[in-house]
Amino acid sequence: MNINSPISSYQLIVKFRFEAAHRLAKDYAGKCANIHGHSFKGELAVTANQLDKMDMVIDYADLKVLTKSIANDLDHKLLLYENDKELIEFCRKFNLNILLFDANPTSEVIARFIYNRLKSQIYTISPTIEVDYVMIEETCSSRCMYSNPSKL
């Protein structure tokens, strides 16, 4: 059996989590315009068509280092839209940890942000590995998946 057959495809999935607050300030009038927090759960899936010399796509430990790094960048931050000027000014005045986005920090935008960061980091480790998707669970009943655009 050839484990590196051209028709083979391997998918690895790792989970991660972080705590963060956000608010939707850009053209949004619902409850989420208020600052509120979530225990975000994330899932990263990567795929490859062949295994490396150790018969792995990538070491799970390496994937966990990457997801832990990104989770740490988001953990216990207030995620804000970059034009939420008064709140940003307030946060900076009191030295609060914020992370700015060029759009409302919805689960969709957060998933895309994580996907793009992981995609560039994984590519430097191995250009043969693709990030398949990043899933972000905002609540126990709501989640968003951002997928590899080339696979749509």
Is residue 76 part of the annotated active site? The answer reads: yes
The structure's pTM equals 0.91
The pair of structure tokens assigned to 3 is: 């484990």
Of the candidates 43, 130, 137, 138, the residue annotated as catalytic is 138
- In sign, the C-alpha dihedral spanning 96, 101, 39, 141 is positive
The CATH H-level (homologous superfamily) assignment of domain 10-147 is 6-pyruvoyl tetrahydropterin synthase/QueD (3.30.479.10)
Using CA atoms, how far apart are residues 73 and 67, in angstroms rounded to an integer?
Answer: 10
Tens digits of pLDDT across the chain (152 residues): 455 555 678 999 999 999 999 999 999 999 999 999 999 999 999 999 999 999 999 999 999 999 999 999 999 999 999 999 999 999 999 999 999 999 999 999 999 999 999 999 999 988 899 999 999 999 999 999 999 777 65
Of the candidates 19, 36, 76, 82, the residue annotated as catalytic is 76
Report the C-alpha dihedral over residues 102, 104, 108, 112, rounded to 10 degrees: 10
Q: What is the pLDDT of residue 1?
A: 47
Of the candidates 19, 32, 36, 38, the residue annotated as catalytic is 32
List the chain domain ranges.
Answer: 10-147
3-class secondary structure, 21: strand
Quickly list H helices, 19-106.
60-74, 85-93
